[in-house]
Amino acid sequence: MLMRGLRIILPIALFLGLIRFWEWSVVYLEIPPFILPPPSAILAVFATDGASLLGSAWTTLGTTLAAFTLATVSGTALAALFASSRIAEAALSPYAVILQVTPIIAIAPLIIVWVGLDNAWLTVLILAWIAAFFPVLASATAGLKAVDPNLRDLFRLYRADFRQTFIRLMVPSSLPYLLAGIKTAGGLALVGAVVAEFAAASGNTDGLAWRILEAGNRLQIAKMFAALLLLALMGVVLYAILSFVEWLLLHRWHGDRRHA
Amino acid sequence: MSSGLRLDRLAKTFPNGTAALGELSADIEAGAFVSLLGPSGCGKSTVLRLIAGLEEPTRGRVGWPQTRGSLGFIFQEPTLMAWATATNNIALPLELAGMAKSEARERARVALEKVGLAGFADALPRELSGGMRMRVSIARALVADPDVLLMDEPFAALDEFTRGKLNDDLLRLWAERRFTGIFVTHSVFEAVYLSQRILILSGRPGRLVADIENPAPYPREPGYRTSAAFNATARDILDALEDVSTC
Ligand SMILES: Nc1ncnc2c1ncn2[C@@H]1O[C@H](COP(=O)(O)OP(=O)(O)OP(=O)(O)O)[C@@H](O)[C@H]1O
Ligand SMILES: [Mg+2]
């Protein structure tokens, strides 16, 4: 219990201390605000530019969630296809890997050409989806392969058909793997969305990346920090929510699966 | 209900070239309790998997009276679904066969009582001890009232005390149901205590080297373990094993 309290209190205390130190050193060392603005100036940005920043954050969040959902659904579906058909796996998995190892920033120009400049949001969505898709596919595939062979035999012995085996055995056994992949995918969808906004959408969407570029060009460093803060916040909240979902689904039997 | 079966020059060579099982022939009567004993790697598990149809024989066949009898299989590990309660684990064979959930779970509860776990209907496998998990596994194998029960060193991982108790439970259930029991073990003493008949396999590829009857009557009480009759049968087996090379 004490340890638990410390785990919450310590990071917060450290955070507050660092902020104090930051504020103090900027003032004391006379660092110009276009190099490093003090925390108070960053907070002040939310008073002046809050609406536009939150609007942009909303756009980026929307893209992130859409890409994340697409990645989760398509990654799981493809993994299920791989599990049911070796031929499909042999034929398709190299393409999944190619998609994964090619940096999305390098694919961006191609997607822009295909989708058209008018549909910048679609370009961003596609790129963020590509970024988030692979961990779902990889973890779901690994999970489906990690099914206890004895349990598999048991299902065969009782003449379970593919549907029964899939729903009663493969889905539950692979769930811990899948959820770990989905957690990674949440973060990657956000990274992918921002990178894609940088790469593809200058001036065409109003995501947070655009706010950061814009602020950079005008040397509004405090605003840049404010945008970064929002991004970090979004990432952390997303991760926390996904971790909670994972806990909800697994805490009863997690951690001791091997002994069962 | 129970069903006899005939192993007819059964042989298995795996695709990688391992000759696991030579030619094994044996008639196993309906309702018999037979143990398979032999050195590690001589194909005992393979025999059970062949009988269960989980593996195809390279040569020979498993003969059934008319149709394949219904089977139960107890693996060396409890092999439970970690995400399902004891009741739901036991109900699995019934539900896979299409029985309605409520009825399947009701029967599972009865089976759970039979193995002495009445209070653990809603426990998850991780909340049970090793011996209790094995009991759940036994209940699952028996819930569908199989004609033939295949057991692959089910108690090997348990302590002596739990093992002894489960041996007695198993004999009691066998006396009630009269399934045909085929029991693989490394333990001479377990084989003697449980079985009417002990088949001894040689080192790889497994072949039948001895077929020993154990005439001691049932029910066998724990006292049987220290009787002269027990020792005599154990001696026969140990003599037969002496001639068997290890793998
Ligand atoms: N799927 C497989 N592919 C290749 N070889 C196999 C396979 N399964 C078993 N074997 C080999 O067949 C031989 C017999 O295996 P089996 O599991 O039947 O032995 P066992 O008598 O049950 O041994 P133990 O007492 O150690 O459990 C072993 O040498 C094993 O390596
Ligand atoms: Mg074995």
* DSSP secondary structure letters along chain B: ----EEEEEEEEE-TTS-EEEEEEEEEE-TT-EEEEE--TTSSHHHHHHHHHTSS--SEEEEE-SSSPPPEEEE-SS----TTS-HHHHHHHHHHHTT--HHHHHHHHHHHHHHTT-GGGTT--GGGS-HHHHHHHHHHHHHHT--SEEEEESTTTTS-HHHHHHHHHHHHHHHHHH--EEEEEES-HHHHHHH-SEEEEE-SSSB-EEEEEE--PPSSPPGGGGGSHHHHHHHHHHHHHHHTPPP-
Q: Last residue of some domain: B97, B124, B144?
A: B144
Which chain B residues contact residue A260 at CB under 8 A? Answer: 78, 80-82, 125-126, 133
**A38-248 carries CATH number 3.90.1200.10:** no
Mean pLDDT for the stretch of residues B31-48: 91
Ligand nearest to the CA of B47: 1
Instruction: Report pTM.
Output: 0.81
The predicted-structure confidence for A128-185, as pLDDT tens digits, reads as follows 999 999 999 999 999 998 899 999 999 999 999 999 999 999 999 999 999 999 999 9
| B226 and B169 in a common domain | yes
Provide the domain count of chain B. Answer: 2
Which residues hold their Cβ within 5 A of ligand 2, which is an ion? B 45
Give me ligand 1 centre to Cα B43, in Å: 6
ipTM of predicted assembly, 2 dp: 0.89
| B243 and B171 in a common domain | yes
The predicted-structure confidence for A207-232, as pLDDT tens digits, reads as follows 899 889 888 888 889 999 999 999 99
Query: Which of B75, B80, B83 is facing A172, going by the closest CB pair?
Result: B83
| Closest C-alpha residue for ligand 1 atom 11 | B20
Q: Which residue has the higher pLDDT, A30 or B69?
A: A30
User: Mutate which of A150, A251, A256 to disrupt the B interface (most B C-beta within 10 Å)?
Assistant: A150
pLDDT at B245: 60
| B27 and B101 in a common domain | no
The predicted-structure confidence for B156-172, as pLDDT tens digits, reads as follows 888 888 888 889 989 99
CA A226 to chain centre: 20
pLDDT at B115: 86
Band of pLDDT at residue B246, cut at 50, 70 and 90? low
| B154 and B52 in a common domain | yes
| B93 and B62 in a common domain | no
Nearest-10 Cα torsion for A244, A250, A256, A259? -170
Mean residue pLDDT of chain A comes to 89
> What are the domain boundaries of chain A?
38-248
Ligand nearest to the CA of B206: 1
Query: How many angstroms separate the CA of residue B141 from the nearest CA in chain A?
Result: 10
Q: H or E segment at A245?
A: helix A221-250
B54 contacts A154? CB cut-off 8 A? no
The predicted-structure confidence for B94-141, as pLDDT tens digits, reads as follows 999 999 999 999 999 999 998 889 999 999 999 999 989 999 999 999
| B80 and B54 in a common domain | no
Q: Last residue of some domain: B119, B144, B169?
A: B144
| B165 and B134 in a common domain | no
Mutate to test the pocket of ligand 1, among B42, B183, B188, B207 (most ligand atoms within 8 A of CB): B42
Nearest 5°: the CA angle B46, B52, B55 is 50
Q: H or E segment at A11?
A: helix A2-28
The predicted-structure confidence for A47-90, as pLDDT tens digits, reads as follows 888 888 999 999 999 999 999 999 999 999 999 999 888 899 89
- Closest-CA residue of chain B to A148: B79
pLDDT at B143 over 70: yes
> Which CATH number does the domain housing residue B211 bear?
3.40.50.300
Q: Last residue of some domain: B90, B118, B144?
A: B144
